[in-house]
Structure 1
Amino acid sequence: MDVVLPCLDEAAALPWVIGRVPAGWRPIVVDNGSTDDSARIAEGLGALVVAEPRRGFGSACHAGLLAATAEIVCFCDCDASLDPALLPHMVDAVREGRADLVVGRRRPTRGAAWPAHARLGNAAVAGMLRRRTGVRIRDIGPMRAARRTDLLGLGLTDRRSGYPLEMVVRAADAGWRIDEVDVPYFPRTGASKVTGTWRGTWTAVRDMSAVLREPAPPTRARSAGGER
């Protein structure tokens, strides 16, 4: 399996994160313009390092997806807030045909792990998602698993904070089975670049709202997982 880890100045968190990637899996660290030693540390820990100079969470995630070669690809934050060791359970649901996309629902271990403004923004977007697609997930979390070729087939175009939501919206439009599992959410290591600040949360909600305003594509056959 390949695990895409979008990275921007995460030198302090990388040893723990890469150390928690399951044995035999490949961590793909996408350096999104770090000014610390993130790339060097990741390479020294055995990760494949991909440089993506175009800033944006979606840019980093998609560069990792393009670099991946495994049948099933996972995504996880690189700030030690989420544990990659929990990914096999999510992958099993995809491999065994129980779901086409599995998303981790963040369950904070401490109040500081997920600030109130970030939780409110996430809840608002999840509500808009339900109205737009009917998919009843409660978190637009960054931890997820799906088949690589199917993800590429979604034609994802957002390169900012809306990328995780666009993945769910396009998957829903294509008729994928989307599942949600609880995952512990820890206080991140280092300073947050997005939802740890009011400005970052507002930017993320703005980007995601733009995704939801896009019209649904014409009805098409579901592609995930092939014939069943």
Structure 2
Amino acid sequence: MKINVLFSNIFLDELYFTGKTVVVIDVLRATTVITTALANGAREVIPVSTLDFAMKISGDAFRSQTLLCGERNTKMVEGFNLGNSPLEYRPEVVAGKSIIFYTTNGSKSIVKAKFSKNLFACSFNNLPAIANHMTLLNEDFEIVCAGTNGMFNLEDAVCAGILISEIRKLTDNVQLSDSANASVILSTNNTKNLFNFLSATEHGKMLIENGFEDDILECAKIGTTDVIPYYVSGTMKRL
């Protein structure tokens, strides 16, 4: 399988992803939240790319069974039920619920790749499960780093590199693009203490400034769940 990493998809058309297999990464914090919500019993997570669309579909939904969730500039949007902290998505809050989910970077990246043949969400929490699944799938795939406001960020690139390294432990049938090789190189020096690493990134520092240091600790945990979020018919569900 050939693996390519996109450090940003801002310049790509949605049709670029048609027929491709894609893994989206937004470590801080969208793909961590999606994985956590599904692991804790949410029926589905519906990623949206605009606040207006989030509000529109929430108005059409069964309110008792739907939560309007996400963030803008790290903080919960006024009028939303939950923000973008994985710690908020507890079983007693999300079990059986449909979650309409808007974030500055992660949900937009998933929507951008909606025409993919296969589309998965990866965080450190479910990284070993994703690595195992991609190895079994044995297809070329693209890793999309959500980045920050369309720009490169280090945490998503490092997560991509660690994912690739885990896959290479499971199979020799791997070819890497230059960007995939770069991700692996970046990850080799940043895996000893993921909490310290994430805390030192630009986005990590912003989260700490806004009171979300505990979120970083949660996002830094590797292999806490085997849940694989899979995009189907506009929603992320458990595979």
Normalised by the length of structure 1, the TM-score is: 0.32
Task: Using CA pairs under 8 Å that are at least 6 residues apart, name the structure with larger relative contact order, 1 or 2.
Answer: 2
